[in-house]
A and B are shown apart, each in its own frame.
Chain A
């Protein structure tokens, strides 16, 4: 059997100017692709704006949990909500509790990932095939779709927050610009973690056609350990410590506490998020490389 090799020709040494020029061209190309992908996906999401609004509305679990925790956290006699009383001895008063769950809602809205479902459907319907035959890593299309969807959600999230403040005026606060910037970064990193975790599962579609079932396994730990149903302060210390060895608290609880003005170890949390991304990214890429070899163009 003949051995076919490519790229065996010795590489010419390039000058620094050529390298800078090449890098500039690649960045320009990347920017054009990102802009085109984002604008087309945003146009698509605007077509589905009603669905996006419903998705935003369906994420009100934190508000339900707020209602439950507020009932449990009966303030001492003579003190009403917003009185500053400690809600049930969890270290948060009613106002802080309200702010926390509002921030958890916001963090969840902008860090949610659904790549596993979109990818699985594309793989089963054969839509993945044309993506694989273009000189662009297909996962970028899903990143663009998620970012476009987040932008489409923004007005609905603002609206829901406005209604929340109308109902709970005592909870109104304006975070410092530094907190806002740090929160945006934290939410973006939280989205990255969530996206990469889901991508790892999505890539399993190359082996099992229904990989989304595996995603359900992650949902329960995500629900409880991310801080969606309860602030991590209410967890027993051992469970809280264990939770911080998983990526889940960084996906909702950390950005939410950051925005709500809570005392959180900011540098350590950001470092942990970067660590999780550094771990998940190569795993995703390795799985991708192995999965594509197995791909048999289902449904194509």
Chain B
């Protein structure tokens, strides 16, 4: 059963348009000009309860705006969102008890107090009795490997410890739907891995639905069997990463290590030469021709090593974003 539903969801911001320089400043002071910026353009999707879905897109693609609309923080300009049976923008108490929105680098913990003080407030706000609050804090702290950090002022915690404490605060009321906006932003590789492991564990234990944005594709590949790729405000892809890879690049990457160096021109008949550095060659070969091309390469050249793989998804998505070539 769908727990999140977006139908032609859109959001348009009105932003001030000011030219640089003194003349622009004076003109702006006398007569303000505004223009409408469509941050999200008619996005539709549904997410089933318990799913972990990655939300991909470049900066300004509309990911965070979509999360804010789904969490009820901002009102959509058009279309409709339904989350856990509620219209998010109404922000009814029953709805708010079922969701959480975590924004990396933004905090809800009180900066100068230990996280436990903020957790006590959250427990009271969400109506948890003392025993339940203590039990949940202990359970989440255990999952997040937090201990005495909870009694240290937040300002004294490292970025990773702070993020984990933020997650604890955001999940204390055991929400059914988690909106996570860059939860690993700025963390080192170990801290990222721990947060990922925690999210996977939380999803497994509580059956929570997770919609996650991240610039670190490792977060998405580790956690999300399904991805939504949003580009220029519209939904470009809804499916697995592998499907996305096929769609973005109907080619496979063939890496060759040769006995003797060859010029790039020698490989044009096999496929698109992505890189040629003497003995090391990288070719993009259409999937339908792969078997034939590999056979020819092995027959024609002295190959020391050959490897076939999908092109790195980061590269494909990056290329898509750079080209703006959405079809």
- Chain A interface (Cβ < 8 Å from any Cβ of B): 1-2, 4, 6, 29, 32-33, 35-37, 39-40, 43-44, 47-48, 126-127, 129-136, 292-293, 295-297, 300
Contacts and interface: CB of A to CB of B under 8 A. Distances in A.
Contacts of A29: 124, 127
Contact of A47 (B91, B96, B100, B113): B113
Given A134-B125, A297-B68, A44 B110 contact: yes
Given A134-B125, A293-B89, 14 more contacts: A2-B7, A29-B124, A32-B124, A43-B113, A44-B112, A47-B112, A127-B107, A129-B103, A130-B106, A130-B107, A133-B101, A135-B93, A135-B97, A300-B106
B221 interface: no
Interface in B271-287: none
A240 to B, nearest CB: 40
Nearest to A296: B74
A132 B117 contact: no
Contacts of A131: 108
B185 to A, nearest CB: 14
A36 B106 CA distance: 22
A178 B170 CA distance: 47
Interface of B: 7, 13, 68, 71-75, 80, 82, 85-87, 89-93, 96-97, 99-101, 103, 106-108, 110, 112-113, 117-118, 120-127
Contact of B124 (A33, A48, A300): A33
B124 A126 contact: no
B206 to A, nearest CB: 19
Nearest to B129: A32
B73 A40 contact: no
Contacts of B87: 4, 6
14 contacts: A6-B85, A39-B120, A40-B110, A40-B121, A43-B113, A127-B106, A129-B101, A130-B106, A131-B108, A132-B72, A132-B73, A133-B71, A133-B72, A133-B100
A133 B121 contact: no
Q: Which 8 A/B pairs are nearest by Cβ-Cβ distance?
A: A130-B108, A36-B124, A135-B93, A135-B96, A32-B124, A40-B117, A33-B124, A36-B121
B125 A4 contact: no
Contacts of A44: 110, 112-113
A262 B95 CA distance: 53
A129 B75 CA distance: 13
Contact of B122 (A1, A47, A129, A134): A134
Nearest to B80: A4
B121 A297 contact: no
A22 to B, nearest CB: 13
Contacts of A35: 124
A132 to B, nearest CB: 6
Contacts of B123: 36
Contacts of A36: 120-121, 123-125
A1 B44 CA distance: 13
A44 B111 CA distance: 9
Nearest to B128: A32
Nearest to B123: A36
A33 B103 CA distance: 24
B96 A40 contact: no
Contact of B68 (A1, A2, A300): A300
B125 A126 contact: no
Most A C-beta atoms less than 10 A away, residue of B74, B87, B97, B107:
B74
Contacts of A136: 125
Contact of A33 (B68, B73, B92, B125): B125
Nearest to B107: A127
Contacts of B82: 4
A135 B125 contact: yes
B80 A43 contact: no
B124 A43 contact: no
Nearest to B114: A43
Contacts of A295: 73-74
A295 B73 CA distance: 8
Contact of A297 (B74, B99, B110, B122): B74
B35 to A, nearest CB: 15
A78 B103 CA distance: 72
A183 B122 CA distance: 34
A127 B126 CA distance: 19
A4 B90 CA distance: 12
Given A6-B85, A6-B90, A129-B101, A135 B126 contact: yes
Nearest to B179: A133
Contacts of B121: 33, 36-37, 40
Contacts of B92: 6
Contact of A40 (B72, B97, B118, B126): B118
B108 A40 contact: no
A127 B166 CA distance: 13
B38 to A, nearest CB: 14
Nearest to B127: A29
A269 to B, nearest CB: 36
A40 B80 contact: no
A105 to B, nearest CB: 28
Given A40-B118, A134-B96, A300-B68, A129 B106 contact: yes
Contacts of A292: 91
A75 B98 CA distance: 70
A115 B74 CA distance: 23
Contacts of A134: 96, 122, 125-126
A282 to B, nearest CB: 20
Given A4-B87, A47-B112, A133 B117 contact: no
B86 A1 contact: no
B74 A43 contact: no
A127 to B, nearest CB: 7
Most B C-beta atoms less than 10 A away, residue of A6, A35, A295:
A6
